[in-house]
Amino acid sequence: MRLLTDYMLSSNIKGVTNGFPLRLEVEKSVEKEVDFNADFLKNMFPKIEWKALVDAFRSMGYTELPNEAESPMLDSKEFLKKFHHALLQLHLEEGALICPETGRRFPVSKGIPNMLLHEDEVFDEVYQIESQF
């Protein structure tokens, strides 16, 4: 699982209002070589909230990137390389994503996060309506 995924996900357990950012619990992380693709990085950069993404990088132990970034930095090859490495080459292989509010663990196994909710976590207003009567 790449860190972009962690940045994009939130816990959608019923009743949770602040389901993100999901905290990373790292058991095993790997680095996978990925072809450098500047177009993709430049396309993604304006779409993301830098602070939240950098926090995810930090929790994986990657601290090379600055806390703040502006689009002119995309002209720097060095910055792009680091961004590329953090965004696409760092993988969380085994571990979990942790809901900041409830502490629920969403396990990450073989690099695939399991975001499926248990029966009693599904947000269903139907029951809430019924229980009022």
Partner 1 sequence: MWYLCVFFHRLLDYRRPEVESLAKLFGVFGDGDGDCCLEWRLPEQHHPDSPFHFIHLPSEDLARSIANRSILVKGIYELWGEGSSYEELEDTIKSYPDDRKLPYLTPESTFKITVDSFGKVIGFQEQNERIQGLAYIPFKGQVNLRNPDHRFWLMETDDYGSNNGLPPVVQRRIFFGREVGAAARKLLPTYQLKSRNYLGPTAMDAEMAFLMANQALATRGKLVYDPFVGTGSILIAAAHFGAMTMGEDIDIRVVRDGRGPDCNVWSNFKQTLFSYEYLIHQPLSGANELLAWLIYSCLLQYGLPMPISLLRADNNLPPWRPGLEEVISCPLLLVFWKFPVLDDLYGNLVFDAIICDPPYGVRAGGRKSGGRKLMKGAVAPYTVPDDKRTDHIPSTASYSLAECVHDLLDLAARMLIMGGRLVFFYPVLRENGSSEKRFPEHPCFMLVAACEQILSPRYSRILLTMVKTESYSEEVRESARKNHLGFKENHLKWLVDGNLHSAVFSPDNSQMGMVGDSKFNKESKPKYRGKYV
Determine, following the binding rule CB under 8 A, whether residue 112 of this chain makes contact with partner 1. yes
Q: Which residues contact 122 (CB under 8 A, 6 or more apart)?
A: 14
Among 23, 25, 26, 44, binds partner 1 (CB under 8 A): 44
Q: Nearest approach, Cβ of 41 to partner 1 (angstroms)?
A: 8
Contact 83, 71 (CB under 8 A): no
Phi-psi group of 95: left, alpha or beta (phi > 0 → left; psi -120 to 50 → alpha; rest → beta) = left
Cα 97 to its chain centre, rounded Å, is 8
In the sheet that 90-98 helps form, which strands lie side by side, from edge to edge? 23-31, 90-98, 105-109
Determine, following the binding rule CB under 8 A, whether residue 59 of this chain makes contact with partner 1. no
Handedness of CA 55, 60, 66, 72 (dihedral sign): negative
Instruction: Kindly state the tokens that stand for 65.
Output: 């990137």
Q: Nearest approach, Cβ of 1 to partner 1 (angstroms)?
A: 5
Nearer to partner 1, 38 or 61 (CB): 38
Among 28, 30, 31, 49, binds partner 1 (CB under 8 A): 49
Determine, following the binding rule CB under 8 A, whether residue 114 of this chain makes contact with partner 1. yes
Determine, following the binding rule CB under 8 A, whether residue 68 of this chain makes contact with partner 1. no
- Which residues are at the interface with partner 1 (CB under 8 A)? 1-2, 4-5, 8-12, 19-21, 32, 34-35, 37, 39-40, 42-44, 46-49, 52, 88, 105, 109-120, 122-127, 130
